[in-house]
Structure 1
Amino acid sequence: MKFALVIMVIIAVAVLLGLLFVSFKMLRKVQVEEAEQAKLNPKQYRLHPKLQQEFDKKQKEQDKN
């Protein structure tokens, strides 16, 4: 009886380790795909309208100089 319990615990731990390995493998695959997409399509950030106005003013001032 105790032998069967020990075997079941060992099997359960092995299954959990297997699932952990598979999940990390899948996570790494998704991270690589996201990195490739980020290289191809860089994010375009938009500023808040008031910040955009300040940024435009600074750009105009720099262009005048």
Structure 2
Amino acid sequence: MPSFASFAQPDAPFNCTDDRTHTRLVAVFLLIVVVLVHIALTWFIINMPPATPVKPIEIMEVVMVT
């Protein structure tokens, strides 16, 4: 059974600094995605057609029936 030390690769292509850069890139990417989703939702809410207004008389009829 090989020891765990044999699995360590000192010449690995991703060292600590690359790992930090990768984490930073992922964080920036997620931040951009969140901002874009926020902008899209805001635009959708602003441009949404207004809902049909309910007349108070209809509400009173429903209350009377129940």
TM-score (norm 2): 0.59
Query: Alignment partner for residue 5 of structure 1, among 10, 19, 23?
Result: 19
Which has the larger Rg? 2
Unaligned runs of 5+ in 1: 52-65
The answer to whether 1:26 aligns with 2:40 is yes
Residue-pair matches, total = 47
Question: Deviation string for 1:2-42 (max 9, x for gaps)?
Answer: 011101111010111100110011011111112xx22xx64
Aligned partners of 1:14 and 1:49: how far apart in 2? 52
Aligned partners of 1:49 and 1:12: how far apart in 2? 54
- Tell me which amino acid in the other structure corresponds to 1:44: V
CA-based RMSD of the aligned residues comes to: 1.9
Residue in structure 2 matched with residue 44 of structure 1 by the alignment = 54
Identity, in percent, stands at: 6
Greater helix share, structure number: 1
TM-score (norm 1): 0.60
- Tell me which amino acid in the other structure corresponds to 1:4: D
